[in-house]
């Protein structure tokens, strides 16, 4: 499979600083036994850095994961979101910090919040690494946001283009032919 060229948007150092700032902003909002629910696969690198930054702020969350899918094979949101793998932790009466990589149409995040509330979460706070506000179909914003990006295709730091580029240690944009 061809790898289209990419160019860096946010460096490792830039991301590291922003993740520390996010953790410092999130920590005072969390109660004693929060559950961090991260959406796989795109948020796995961000989550790994965020939990360690939260630890430095004294936060000790349970960490759980969900796999949702909305895109099918395309790169445009279908608007239909499905649970492919549910989280394991009991959420009844719990505060949840929901972590994802990119807020795009808003369909995934809207569905995920509703799903976690149906499972009994008393509060769902959201933390997104990136936001593409131009692409929104559903009116929703993140409680905690790393960076706003233009309407370009993003890769790196866990985020893929056809399963490629997740390993990049920085966030980049794809130059599509």
**Which positions are annotated as active-site residues?**
104
User: Among residues 166, 128, 156, which one has the least CA distance to residue 7?
Assistant: 156
Q: In this complex, which beta carbon is closest to ligand IMP, that of residue 42 or of residue 61?
A: 42
> Partners of 69 in the beta sheet?
82
Q: How far is the CB of 101 from Mg ion (least distance, A)?
A: 5
Return the H-helix or E-strand segment holding 36: strand 35-40
Under DSSP, the state recorded for 159 is B
Q: Report the interface residues with Mg ion, using CB under 5 A.
A: 42
* Using rule CB under 6 A, residue 101 touches ligand IMP: yes
Site string for ligand IMP, 40-79 (x = CB under 6 A): --x---------------------------x------x--
* Using rule CB under 6 A, residue 102 touches ligand IMP: yes
What is the rounded distance in angstroms from the CA atom of residue 2 to the CA atom of residue 29?
44
List the structure tokens of 30: 């969390």
| Residue numbers at the binding site for ligand IMP (CB under 6 A) | 39, 42, 70, 77, 100-109, 153-154, 159
């Amino acid at each position: 499979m061809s790898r289209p060229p990419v160019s860096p948007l946010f460096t490792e150092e830039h991301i590291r600083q922003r993740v520390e700032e996010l953790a410092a902003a999130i920590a005072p909002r969390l109660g004693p036994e929060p559950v961090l629910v991260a959406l796989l696969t795109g948020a796995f690198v961000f989550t790994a850095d965020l939990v360690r930054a939260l630890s430095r702020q004294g936060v000790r969350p349970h960490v759980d994961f969900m796999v949702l899918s909305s895109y099918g094979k395309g790169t445009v949101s279908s608007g239909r979101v499905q649970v492919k793998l549910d989280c394991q932790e009991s959420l009844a009466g719990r505060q949840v910090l929901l972590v994802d990589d990119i807020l795009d149409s808003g369909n995934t995040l809207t569905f995920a919040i509703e799903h976690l509330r149906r499972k009994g979460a008393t509060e769902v706070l959201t933390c997104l690494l990136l936001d593409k506000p131009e692409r929104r179909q559903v009116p929703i914003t993140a409680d905690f946001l790393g960076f706003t990006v233009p309407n370009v295709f993003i890769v790196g730091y866990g985020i893929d283009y056809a399963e490629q580029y997740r390993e990049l240690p920085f966030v980049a944009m794809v130059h599509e032919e």
